[in-house]
Structure 1
Amino acid sequence: MTDSESTGWPNLTVVGSLLEREYAFALGLTCCIPALRYVLHTLVYQPVARQVLCSHVFTKTGSVPAKVQRLVDKSCESLWKLTVYATLLALGLYALHDQAYLTDTTEFWKGWPSQNIPAKVKLYYGVEGAFYTASVFMLLFWEERRKDFHAMMLHHVATSSLIAASYFFSYARVGSIVMLLHDPSDVFLEGAKLCNYADWDLPATTLFAALLVSWLGLRLVLLPWVVHSCLFEVQEVLGYLPRYNRAMSAVLCLLIVLHIYWFSMIARIAWDKITTGSASDSREDED
């Protein structure tokens, strides 16, 4: 057994490479993301949202109420997130579709910690890490604060920390699967919110149903399955428990707790829709 295997630390050469190249790329991308969002917000999202929402409200009421601007702002936020999550989902599917550990969790640990990480997986990691790191600052200084602000902040901090730590400690196979499990639900969520803002009932209901199913299946069934591999299967494959394995498993468990919290909110909205014929997202209320 090598020193890196017995201690759970990655090879120092690999660490140096990460600090100088992969992390530098992610940091640079983090700085560029708010600027990209500003350009898209100004040139694309605002004009589209105003045209769709203002024309819709004017047709419906004969005037444009003051609250439309707030609706435009929320729509721009969802348009941005939909753009990012759809891009991340496409990138994740491209990066992982041919990886053996996509369907076999024992492949998470074979050859650990000296595992080959394809360039496309490194790119996926860098883009995901940059987005969630930038999201911490955009949530603080840009986005409208909703009732679950603190939960969202905790989620973004935990996610960005987990992405950085998992890459540093050679858990890229586990981390990339965890990221892929999160992206589809976010696409459905932002799509449903946009349709709801525009009063497109059928598409909103369809996307909301897809959100409910994907959230339950991916985040509350498959994600715990990955955590189980981190806690137990790793010892069966390697014969020992890598250093900091429990710490990263604990962060994953924290994410599952947050997902249960958000799923309860989603289920409540679905129940209200079924029983009353209408529903509203309590997150949209201001503190």
Structure 2
Amino acid sequence: MKKYSDGRIKKDKQLSYLNFGRFIKQNIRYFAVYQQKILIATILFIICIHIFTSQNFTKKLLKLSYCNSATQLCSKGKDDWYFVGFWVILFTLMREVCIRHIFIPFGRNHGIISTRNLNRFSEQTWSFIYYVVFWSFGMYISYNSPYWLNPKQLWIQYPQVDLKPHIKWYYLVQFSFWIQQIFVVNIEKRRKDYYEMFFHHIITCTLIFMSYIYHFTQVGNAVMCIMDLSDIFLPLSKMLKYLKMHKTCNLSFFIFFLSWIITRHILFVFIVYSTYKDAGVIITHKWDPVNNIYFTKKIHMSFLALLTALEIILFFWLCLIIKVTWQVISGHNAKDTRSDSEDENDLALNKKKYKNTYK
């Protein structure tokens, strides 16, 4: 009898987890359908409150907190989360508006007929524009810093407690974008590398968060600049593919391939190695909140583990990229097997749904 009771309890728990999962999926789908209206209403509500009542919490949403006009520097604190949250909402709205009202009409006017291809083209166009803007901004910050072409300066200047306003803005907005990407990867059609992409975003957000609160923003800026370069050419290649500009697409893909190798498997590995070898030598392992030093052995190894995990995911994608590169060398057009391909079963299911709808 006890055995039956335990089994019944276990079954009830499984059903409750299943129902909760369905509830979450239904709400995500609902938001995905009506997100533009919901987000516009939310942002207008925040702006109206800010204009007509001057509430303190709306200032935290719209402006950087902890900025000192005398020193022209900004410190860090819990109110930064308001700013990050607002930009997550703003990015979601900007993405939806640009995709629906700019990129899809543009793609349709340039011969893209399939709804699926229009959506994919629009998503890649959004990514391309984002990475062009933020890679350029990040490179400007990096180029005008002491650690430009001098990796040891990343550790010598620790801790980076106070930041210039434009650097803090860049860092928090990048953080907002990657949080928003976790949402995006779950509302889009699931692709073959969904789990790798999801864990990549989780690791990226964790690294940005840790580097911010533990005052390693210079290292974070260097890593983001390294990563963002190849992320310009990948969506560009996909855009050209959907526009049927195959020769230009292949050229763009080769540039992407070279930039991926150089940035993610040479420069990034160099930073991982510097984290392992230089960081512990230049900075003493200790926990000293009074002096804003948060660099224990455990935190050091956590950074190293996350960076290594990120490199493992990148290596997995490299294998897929090499496969596509070989296709191009063999005389075929670049066909993405990394993140823009759907399972054949999914395509068959979609066709079946389409036929049933219009019977």
Same fold (TM over 0.5): yes
Please classify the TM superposition score into its range, dividing by the shorter chain length: 0.7 to 0.9
Q: Describe the shift of the 1:236–1:196 C-alpha distance in structure 2 as closer, same or farther (beyond 3 A).
A: same
**How far apart, CA to CA, are the structure 2 residues paired with 1:249 and 1:262?**
20
Q: Describe the shift of the 1:232–1:190 C-alpha distance in structure 2 as closer, same or farther (beyond 3 A).
A: same
Hey, what does 1:236 align to over in structure 2? 281
Hey, what does 1:45 align to over in structure 2? 103
Q: What's the CA shift string for 1:122-142, capped at 9, x where partnerless?
A: 12211211111001011112x
1:53 CA displacement: 2.6
User: Higher helix proportion, which one?
Assistant: 1
Secondary structure of the 2:210 match is helix
* Alpha-carbon RMSD: 2.0
Q: Describe the shift of the 1:279–1:214 C-alpha distance in structure 2 as closer, same or farther (beyond 3 A).
A: closer
Bigger-Rg structure (1/2): 2
Q: Describe the shift of the 1:112–1:278 C-alpha distance in structure 2 as closer, same or farther (beyond 3 A).
A: closer
Runs of 4+ in 1 over 6 A off after TM superposition: none
Residues 207 and 306 in structure 2, CA contact (< 8 A), matched pair in contact too: yes
Hey, what does 2:311 align to over in structure 1? 256
Hey, what does 1:28 align to over in structure 2? 86
Higher relative contact order (CA 8 A, sep 6+): 1
Secondary structure of the 2:335 match is coil
1:271 CA displacement: 0.5
1:90 CA displacement: 1.5
Hey, what does 1:107 align to over in structure 2? 153
**How far apart, CA to CA, are the structure 1 residues paired with 2:111 and 2:254?**
23
Hey, what does 1:207 align to over in structure 2? 252
1:155 to 189, 200, 217: 200
Q: Describe the shift of the 1:201–1:114 C-alpha distance in structure 2 as closer, same or farther (beyond 3 A).
A: closer
Residues 253 and 334 in structure 2, CA contact (< 8 A), matched pair in contact too: no
**How far apart, CA to CA, are the structure 1 residues paired with 2:140 and 2:283?**
29
The residue type equivalent to 1:174 in the other structure is V
Residues 96 and 121 in structure 1, CA contact (< 8 A), matched pair in contact too: no
Secondary structure of the 1:102 match is coil
1:19 to 62, 75, 78: 78
Residues 182 and 218 in structure 1, CA contact (< 8 A), matched pair in contact too: yes
Q: Does 2:327 correspond to 1:269?
A: no
Q: What's the CA shift string for 1:68-99, capped at 9, x where partnerless?
A: 11111110110111111111112112222111
Q: What's the CA shift string for 1:33-68, capped at 9, x where partnerless?
A: 1111111112211100111134xxxxxxxxx6xxx1
Secondary structure of the 2:303 match is helix
The residue type equivalent to 1:26 in the other structure is V
Aligned length: 260
**How far apart, CA to CA, are the structure 2 residues paired with 1:173 and 1:166?**
9
**How far apart, CA to CA, are the structure 2 residues paired with 1:52 and 1:276?**
25
Q: Structure 1 stretches of 5 or more lacking a match?
A: 1-14, 55-63
Q: What's the CA shift string for 1:207-243, capped at 9, x where partnerless?
A: 1011111100000001111111111101222244722
Hey, what does 2:69 align to over in structure 1? none
Q: Describe the shift of the 1:91–1:111 C-alpha distance in structure 2 as closer, same or farther (beyond 3 A).
A: closer
Hey, what does 1:136 align to over in structure 2? 182
Secondary structure of the 2:330 match is helix
The percent identity for this pair of structures is 24
Secondary structure of the 1:109 match is helix
Question: Taking structure 2 as the reference length, what is the TM-score of the superposition?
Answer: 0.69
